[in-house]
Amino acid sequence: MTSERSLEALLEEIPVRRMQRRLVRCVPQLDFMAGLPPRFLYTSGRPNRCNPRDVDCLYFSENEWTANAEYRRQWRGTAAESQPRLTFFARAHLRKIIDLENEDVTAALGLTVEDIFGSWRLSRRPTLLQQLGLAISRQRSIAAIRFPSAALRDRNQAGWNLAIFPLSLQEPDRVEILGKSGDVLEQLP
């Protein structure tokens, strides 16, 4: 397995690319807009596919199709799976992201299909993707990982998600939550 130190070294030379696009997330219909101010760009430091515990990370999908699939997977088997949900949009301008669609990147990182799509919630040790997230959170150049949707893979389809590391965002990087008329509700950094 790639060690943490070698991951940090790999980040210096790994292929990166820009990203400028709209992002999407689906959430249950709770009173998210009732807060003053509403808080969408919060991170809890809880582990997820691309970050270990205590590393802040924001997750989005690239389009509504993927965001819906992710939502349905979370709520699978419950009535909420097919109930109305809230969809919110963000706009990201990021100078450098790691794109796992690029085979040169996955080869350089030594990532297998299991590393990318495998189960992580009950893993006793940080997965390789989580170790990569930790390495990214420790530098200020690369701000995000673009990774394939496990929810869509379940359906033999393809879609992409983005894990953004807020503490790695440096101007002119920008992530904005958009309101109804396209006005910015919240912004990072």
For residue 61, the cross-strand partners are 24, 161
Check residue 170 for interaction with other proteins (CB under 8 A).
Answer: yes
Check residue 157 for interaction with other proteins (CB under 8 A).
Answer: no
Q: Which residues of 115-138 are buried (b: 16+ CB within 10 A; e: fewer)?
A: bbbeebeeeeebbbbbbbbbbbbe
Which one, 104 or 119, has the nearer CB to other proteins? 119
Check residue 134 for interaction with other proteins (CB under 8 A).
Answer: yes
CB of 109 to other proteins, least distance (A): 19
CB of 157 to other proteins, least distance (A): 14
CB hemisphere CA count around 118 (13 angstroms):
13
Q: Total binding residues for other proteins by CB under 8 A?
A: 51
Are 69 and 152 contacting, i.e. CB atoms less than 8 angstroms apart? yes
* Residue of 3, 5, 13, 30 interacting with other proteins (CB under 8 A): 30
Stretch that binds other proteins, among 5-13, 101-109, 131-139, 172-180 (CB under 8 A): 131-139
Evaluated on CA atoms 44, 48, 54, 59, the torsion sign reads negative
Per the rule left: phi > 0, alpha: psi between -120 and 50, beta: everything else, 163 is beta
Contacts to other proteins by CB under 8 A: 25-28, 30-32, 34-35, 39, 42-49, 52-56, 59-61, 67, 70-71, 73-80, 119, 121-122, 134, 137-138, 140, 149-151, 161, 166-167, 170
